[in-house]
Amino acid sequence: MAEPIKNLEVEKWRIKNGLTVSAACEQLGLQRAKFTEMRSRPQDPIEDKAVCQLLEIYEAYPESMPSVRQLDIQQFMIELGFDPENPSHKKEFAVLVGREPAAVYRWLAGEGNYSKPVERLMEAYSRIHLPGPKKRALLRTYAIKIAERLGIKDLFERATWRKE
């Protein structure tokens, strides 16, 4: 007799398909909190039989998965003309997307998920039909505009959204 499908299989499936946690939740119809709970108990059987069926059907018929745009932060940085290995580029990119540099280091190391607003921002800029350097300049323009409205000076020199 075969064993029940365990929570661990969801994480294996997510990684195999290169999905972010958000995209995996979307594909399986799970709330993020439920997904997190499942990850914390990898050896427990999956309770939701529809999720079990989705894992099976997606494995057998990959074309049955709804299309979800896969965000690749490294590729997005390269498209904008950044070197993802360069610390100063990581800092500038972080500021451009409204985050602290530590977040970009985590994302590039695969140790954290983008927040929904950052995902949507990257998706939005990906849909703007401009060459990478012009997109980067546009991101910079809006970052400076927001910083000015928040009273933050020297945003890029300081590489932080924190007020002095």
Per-residue pLDDT of the chain (164 residues; tens, 9 = 90+): 678 889 999 999 998 988 888 888 888 888 989 999 999 999 999 988 888 888 988 888 888 887 766 678 888 999 999 999 999 999 999 999 999 999 999 988 877 777 777 877 887 788 788 898 999 998 899 898 888 888 888 899 999 988 87
pLDDT for 38 equals 94
DSSP state of 67: P
pLDDT for 40 equals 95
89: left (phi over 0), alpha (psi -120 to 50) or beta: alpha
pLDDT for 37 equals 95
The full set of domain ranges for the chain reads: 8-64, 73-158
Please count the CA atoms within 13 angstroms of the CA of 35 that sit on its side-chain side: 18
